[in-house]
Structure 1
């Protein structure tokens, strides 16, 4: 894959733009992929972003900081505005890992967060959904049970590792059931991976961050995550 193009949002946050081989304009479906709560960790999502882009999808990975005064809301929504401009009205999917997952799904459940706009679909990876989402400030499970979610549901795809000891797969199972109960098209794909492995990385205790994994088993499992995201973006 070619090296990602570096861009900047209006708030000055860096964005990596991963394009499929041979694509130089926004001619392919676009995914906005949010990292977790580690500050400015777009590099952590690089392995997964490259794997998705290799399937024919443009992937935007912005930095954001969960330790900002607003929990990262302004930076997340600013990156969404950047992605919407970049996609130029084409198919745009939101995806996120860990804390980025409820942030992404929250925009679909509460479109007023983005001025009434809804993504074509959303993908949530390895997360809890019973805590306030960084974009909406509300708990997604509460939004569903209170009937305050969007009245025009979009497809939701969840991916979770069965070996995840930080965010148990039971969280995604519960959320998928709640979505289905309230009329949302929701699927859950479970893979043999831990919290880092689900995005093709391994946690490095010395660096206190995730690094790309070269373990064939990790890469094979996370390739499923990439396929789910790409299929959703391509409308498969």
Structure 2
């Protein structure tokens, strides 16, 4: 595992784990935790290790979060910069780059897959193209999550106030349809992020002509990031099909 900085702030770093042979592609791992600073990239390390064992190059991203300089717009700046930094990594083919995020990380994974649709700077001209996204119980409708007070005010803290025009740039639901495939996987017993966050996104995306699918699995919010679980094995299959 190699730690690479993409900016001067303490949280602007990523950990690159390479497989033993030629990578199938790159998976950008974006951890969750309702965008709050008490959760960090250690959540993604077990997934990165599993991905490398399966032949992927894993790019486990840290980013500024609420409580350490993140939120709107810093977190978005960091996710964009972290993915673009892959262009500067030696001996790494970025022809296939998939984003994989859990919970709040699912929001950022799908946002990153669609940011090329945001005209102009600071986010709309990616150096590295995302070719597909996998959301693990992602918060994919920020507006609905705001109204439902998901995470006891997590969206309000992240976006810094009431719903306004910024959600057009920040909310995956507002960016439908994307030009790349989106795959959602969600536990049927999830009581942290409701299943409706995934079902609603996929239904709207399909109606708009996008390539989006939902896989429902048994288990709670956290079974998806347990490398020993059937849910993670299914996630690996989804990544392979996308790659």
TM-score, L = length of structure 1: 0.76
Where does residue 50 of structure 1 map in the other structure? 49
Aligned length: 205
Where does residue 136 of structure 2 map in the other structure? 125
Where does residue 142 of structure 1 map in the other structure? 174
Where does residue 80 of structure 1 map in the other structure? 83
Q: Say if 1:110 and 1:136, in contact at 8 Å, map to a contact too.
A: no
207, 210, 215: which one pairs with 1:181? 207
Per-residue deviation, 1:136: 7.4
The C-alpha deviation readout for 1:94-125, integer Å capped at 9, x for no partner, is 22111121222123333133405641111111
Supply the distance in 2 between the matched residues of 1:18 and 1:178 (Cα, whole angstroms).
Answer: 35
User: What does residue range 18-33 of structure 1 map to in structure 2 within 5 Å?
Assistant: 18-20=17-19, 22-23=20-21, 27-33=23-29
Per-residue deviation, 1:175: 0.7
Supply the distance in 1 between the matched residues of 2:233 and 2:15 (Cα, whole angstroms).
Answer: 20
Supply the distance in 2 between the matched residues of 1:170 and 1:10 (Cα, whole angstroms).
Answer: 36
User: How well do the aligned residues superpose, as a CA RMSD in angstroms?
Assistant: 2.6
Distance 1:175 1:72, change over 3 A: same
Instruction: Give every structure 1 segment of 4 or more consecutive aligned residues whose post-TM-superposition deviation is greater than 6 Å.
Output: 132-136
Q: Say if 1:84 and 1:92, in contact at 8 Å, map to a contact too.
A: no
